[in-house]
Chain A
Amino acid sequence: MARQATRRSPRRSVRSTATSSVSSSEPSATRGAVRRPRAKGWFRGYFKGHFQALFLSLGRVSRHPLSSLMTIAVIGIALALPAGLHVALKNVQGVSEGWEDAVQISLFLQKGIEAAEAERVVEQLGQMQAVDEVIHITPQQALAEFRQYSGFGGALDVLDDNPMPSVLLVRPTAAASEPLMIEPLLQQLRGLPAVEMAQLDMEWLKRLYAIMAIGERGVLVLAALLALAVLLIVGNTIRLAIQNRRDEIEVQKLIGATDAFIQRPFLYSGLWHGVLGAVMAWLLVTLSLWLLAGPVQRLSLLYNSNFQLGTLEPLATLVVVTAGGLLGLLGAWLAVGRHLRDIEPT
């Protein structure tokens, strides 16, 4: 069983590709040792393999631009919905944030309290630490205001005397305006002998915050549902890709490809779909906000506000892209786990 490489035709200058490593004098067991690459080479090969798969999969995505784009668009819309709602909520919060400063308590004084006595109450309130400012609206002022704005001025002429009480508008300090601090102040003011009724103009703000909390929770629920949708979309896309490449997978397995090697391009394909879908979502949200910016500004001008529509902040963008990538990877991983094992050469 001598090695006979030297007997080959001289015309073939290239050394035999088949065998130079084989020396038949070795025992067959060592010759057949499973060829795993050595540690350092393995490390390098590992990253090279990933690098290749990363770009191979991007190449495949770009080779079918239309179908890829459609999948990416669906993922983009699915991710854009929660992202867009998040931005909308943030904007509502931004608008309402200033309103907390505008908390005021209306004190309706007992009827029949003279103006001088009302002024004493104003002075008394002004000395309280929690109170920033007190505005006294006399019955005459209240009547004039009512006449001017309500449109029922004619009805007032029928009355013999002024039905309006003195009203004190109490504006608490910022510290006292906190939801927890405002309640004791309200109780205290209610207890004043001259006060008939104390009303906190903040109930509606509390309700608004409650509604926004529901909105936030709703965005989370919606995001979870749509994340599931993205998972299914990517999973299905990868399942089809695996089916389309059935023959290729078979051949690769036959010539010694590991499962890791075969699944890598599919996993990266899922990653690409997810990340590109997230980019699409960012574009959709940004475009929508750009379209809304004009009308919103016009509305805010009508309210004498210089409110600017907020966009998707960098952190949220990062979250969307990361979530897209992870969902894509997970969807692909699920599909690969289910379908790659089924393909065995026959």
Chain B
Amino acid sequence: MIHFENVGKRYDEGGEALSGINLQIDAGNMAFLTGHSGAGKSTMLKLIGLIERASYGQVIINGKNFSKLGRRHIPYVRRDIGIIFQNHKLLNDRTVFDNVALPLVIAGEPHRDIQRRVRASLDKVGLLDKERVSPLSLSGGEQQRVGIARAVVNKPPLLVADEPTGNLDPQLSAEIMNLFAEFNQVGVTVLIASHDIDLITRMGKRVLVLEKGRLLDEPGATPDQAEVLQ
């Protein structure tokens, strides 16, 4: 599902953010990406979300080689990747319902399906009773869950989250993480960038550690197995 082959990213102003990244995450797996600020976590997620392009190497997500992808195709690829942002990126002039419905509207889904699927998605994150309010009237945790509902509403095979618990208290953080684990349980591939080491270790999933733009060897990782499976 996520395949990095000797991937590097150079910025004009600030040297190499990522260098020589090799990574394989199979479909249906869940992994955490951690490391200090500036270690390259966000850059890696931006490469997956096609927000940035790699300077060299191959990023292959969901069978798509991003280095060969034309600008025209980017929107369609993004529809298969549910991205959750630390600052939620919700539209505050629209209701919670409309925010969650946006990916379906963009994809041109029929009106009836939109109703049903948005409700299902909001129910999943426990915010069905808030569909008519503005995101501004919600707490930080609730806004984050709206963001999650929006990311999963069109059933993408891959979920990517950038510090989804960054501003939340420990109990809310654990709830959010459990929500991700539930999506993973039904087959969604999940990659979460987080620096909350305690929480990550408690989840008992694969942990990728970035340091100064390089991926450290994982204690429990078995890249060879991954190769074979692929």
Chain A: minimal CB distance from B172 (Å) = 19
Chain B CB within 8 A of A8 CB = yes
Contact present for A255 and B83 (CB under 8 Å): yes
A17 touches B51 (CB 8 A): no
Q: Of the candidates A16, A253, A259, which one forms a contact with B186 in the assembled complex, judged by CB atoms under 8 Å apart?
A: A16
Given contacts A28-B27, A255-B103, contact A4 B157 (CB under 8 A): no
* Distance of A255 Cα from B147 Cα, bound (Å): 11
**Cα distance, A22 to B91, chains bound together (Å):** 29
**8 Å CB contact of A254 from B1, B76, B89, B124:** B89
Query: Which segment, of A34-42, A204-212, A232-240, A332-340, faces chain B?
Result: A34-42
Shortest beta-carbon distance from A126 to chain B in Å: 82
Total interface residues on B, using CB and 8 Å? 50
B155 A20 Cβ-Cβ under 8 A: yes
Q: Do A45 and B120 have beta carbons less than 8 Å apart?
A: no
When chains A and B are docked, how far (Å) is the Cα of A27 from the Cα of B78? 19
Assembly CA distance A220 to B156 (angstroms):
56
Indicate which residue in A3, A19, A35 contacts B107 across the interface (CB closer than 8 Å): A35
- Chain B: minimal CB distance from A263 (Å): 12
User: Which among B1, B78, B157, B188 has the highest number of chain A CB atoms within 10 Å?
Assistant: B157
- Provide the bound-state CA to CA distance between A20 and B27, in Å: 14
Nearest Cβ distance between residue A341 and chain B, in whole angstroms?
9
Cα(A253)–Cα(B27), bound, Å: 25
Are A35 and B80 closer than 8 Å at their CB atoms? Answer: yes
Complex interface residues of chain B between 41 and 99 (CB less than 8 A to chain A): 49, 51, 61-64, 73, 75-80, 82-83, 89-91, 93
A5-B186, A34-B77 are contacts. A17–B153 as well, Cβ < 8 Å?
yes
B123 touches A255 (CB 8 A): no
Does the CB pair A29–B63 fall under 8 Å?
Answer: yes
Verify B187–A3 contact, CB threshold 8 A: yes
Are B103 and A31 touching (Cβ within 8 A)?
A: no
Cβ contacts B103-126/A at 8 Å (1 or 0 each) = 101111000000001011101100
From the candidates B73, B102, B185, name the one contacting A8 in the complex (CB within 8 A): B185
Q: In the bound complex, what is the Cα–Cα distance between A35 and B149 (angstroms)?
A: 20
Residues of A within 8 A of B (CB): 1, 3-5, 7-8, 12, 14-24, 27-37, 41-42, 45-46, 48-49, 52, 247-248, 250-259, 261, 344-346
A-B CB contact pairs (8 Å), 22 listed: A1-B28, A1-B187, A4-B186, A16-B182, A17-B149, A17-B153, A18-B156, A22-B187, A22-B188, A28-B27, A28-B62, A31-B157, A32-B62, A37-B108, A251-B89, A251-B90, A254-B83, A254-B89, A256-B78, A256-B107, A258-B75, A258-B76
Q: Which 6 A-B pairs have the closest CB atoms?
A: A32-B62, A45-B108, A29-B63, A256-B79, A32-B63, A256-B78
- Sample of 13 further A-B pairs with CB below 8 A, known A3-B186, A8-B182: A1-B187, A8-B186, A15-B120, A18-B155, A18-B188, A19-B155, A33-B63, A35-B76, A37-B108, A256-B79, A256-B106, A261-B106, A346-B51
Q: Which residues of B contact A (CB under 8 A)?
A: 1, 26-29, 49, 51, 61-64, 73, 75-80, 82-83, 89-91, 93, 102-103, 105-108, 117, 119-121, 123-124, 149-150, 152-153, 155-157, 159, 182-183, 185-188
